[in-house]
A and B are shown apart, each in its own frame.
Chain A
Amino acid sequence: MERLLEVKDLQTSFFTYAGEVKAVDGVSFHVDQGEAIGIVGESGCGKSVTVQTVMRLIPTPPGKIVGGSITFLGKDIVNLSEKEMQAIRGKEMGMIFQDPMTSLNPVLTIGLQLTEVLKRHEGLSGQAANKRAVDLLELVGISNPESRLKQYPHQFSGGMRQRVMVAMALTCSPKLLIADEPTTALDVTIQAQILELMRDLKNKINTSIILITHDLGIVADLCSRVLVMYGGKIIEKGSVDDIYYNPQHPYTWGLLKSIPRLDASEKGKLVPIPGTPPDLLNPPKGCRFAPRCEHCMKLCTEQMPEYTAINDGHHVACWLQHPQAPKVAFEGRG
């Protein structure tokens, strides 16, 4: 079966006055039809840049795709012209951004913003486009859609705006929905509503979802596979079961140990990851996580670790996986 999206060894850099910032340095993953994958990592790890590259939204000076390939529905995305990309964006690929306040044009009504997409991509006339827009608003759970169409973004609350964003992203029933921290700015009860919505959509219209977040909870809720990124690279990837119950990379351990669990029955200890994320202008030689890793070996500071397959689909880039390395086990949550 053909994969919906295949990214191979993608490298995106930003050329600034201080030098080349290797924001994405050799990232490979795939997305199949109808599945939801999560990309987790902290700020600066390259997760946003990765999906923005897939959507070809990186500003081309100073950014540049310096290597790798992106294949979407069998087509090579990297070399498409901007015009050809515009035909794909909105139609086959939809994107939801983090801040619903700034993603909507404040001087246009919601109706206009929704129907613009419909008229452009699907060639619908005014009335037909309006009807579709009403259907979409209903789909995302906005009550009184007909009257809401005539309103402006500032008349919607944060959660409603994000729903409108989801509606806009879904107007042309895209095969792939990319959601970049869609709920970070929202309250937790609204977040639950949006996640429920995304789950419904995945089940009903078989949309694939790439969910970018730093929240390991919502990944556990919505996704079937996870990519953990650090310093511009994927350091571990696998199914949710692999990552949560059999994590292999010390960074993943660090993440899991540093977050409190609501259902913890006794007060545990949070173990933070010491230090700060690497400077991508001058990344350390060898493993990017080495300076902060308590299991760092001499080899780690000299050579970039290779990927080891734990099982089909579960890969980790860490020298601890090497047969000659000492055996270290994950002690579990504090």
Chain B
Amino acid sequence: MKLAQDLFEPAISQISAEHINRPSTTMLQDAWRRFKLNKLAMTGLITLVALIIFAFAGPAFIDYNFKTNDLMNTYLTPSWIHPFGTDALGRDTMARIMYGGRVSLAIGFVSVLINLSIGVFYGGISGYFGGRVDNIMMRIVDIIYSVPDLLYVILLMVVIGGKGGLLIIMIVLGIVNWMGMARIVRGQILALREQEYVLAARTLGASTARLMLKHLIPNALGPIIITAALAIPMAIFMEAFLSFIGIGIQPPFASWGSLAAEGRLNIPSYPYALFFPAAAIAITMLAFNFVADGLRDAFDPKMRK
């Protein structure tokens, strides 16, 4: 088959051998991209954002606040004026749910922050040093773990809690729940410690602090974030439980748990008082769980590319 002769001229390759075609993405951007594709996770995230706006910005848009009594209008069924009804003292339930939401969500986030700090520090040290140090530290965790956490919480609340202020609850919940995080972090660090990039950093002369802060913990972030995401609804639930049994948030302040406790008294005749706070707790926990699942999938290295 005869072809045009100029086709046999040498061609200079256009492709630069070292060119990288795709735009740069960090691990986090990549994970976010994958997260966005997960419909359930995005639903959860949007729900959470909506709830946060509802709880923190909501009160600015309604006329009622959570304290004002109106004894003429107790136990109203939900209507346009009081979308969630009113409670035993005539207070607007929706306002109380909003304020209660602030408390519950704040407790959730802050206690997990405390939980995270203690857990990452403890687990990091245990995992990094390994051997005997790790052994002793983990046995301590085992011992603490074997006692039911509710027992701790109740004990601590009774001993330290006193009037059950917001900060005390946050601290107690943080202290009680760090063990799970410590275990996860320790497991991660133990595995990562033997990775070649850590060895390379050690060979370069990196200090322990540098290894932890630049190499080990940043690479353990995936499981840390996921564990934290799951710990938040657990903290919210635990707070709800505490308030439910009366040693958490005290009236006139509200949290979803305490609102549920108040609503428990009149279920047959006025179910709305229990329904709305319980629904709020349930939706929040479900949303967090979807988000945590989505995060787990997004961070899973096997799903890359």
Contacts and interface: CB of A to CB of B under 8 A. Distances in A.
A326 interface: yes
A81 interface: no
Contact of A322 (B8, B10, B13, B17): B8
B221 to A, nearest CB: 25
Interface in B1-50: 2-3, 5-11, 13-15, 17
Interface stretch (A53-61, A70-78, A217-225, A292-300): A292-300
A298 B17 contact: no
A301 interface: yes
Q: Closest 4 interchain pairs by CB?
A: A299-B7, A275-B17, A298-B11, A291-B15
Contacts of A291: 13-15
Contacts of A298: 6-11
Given A322-B3, A324-B2, A324-B3, A299 B8 contact: yes
Given A324-B2, A324-B5, A297 B10 contact: yes
A83 to B, nearest CB: 31
A295 B11 CA distance: 8
State which size class the interface on A falls in. Answer: 20 to 34
A189 interface: no
Interface of B: 2-3, 5-11, 13-15, 17
A296 B7 contact: no
B13 A290 contact: yes
Interface in A252-303: 274-276, 290-293, 295-302
A325 B13 contact: no
A305 to B, nearest CB: 12
Contact of A296 (B5, B6, B10, B17): B10
A296 B8 contact: no
Interface string A64-94: 0000000000000000000000000000000
Nearest to A284: B15
A291 B17 CA distance: 9
B3 A299 contact: yes
B11 A297 contact: yes
B300 to A, nearest CB: 16
Contacts of B2: 324
Nearest to A274: B17
Contacts of A300: 11
Given A291-B13, A296-B11, A298-B11, 10 more contacts: A275-B17, A291-B14, A291-B15, A292-B17, A295-B10, A297-B9, A298-B10, A301-B11, A325-B8, A326-B8
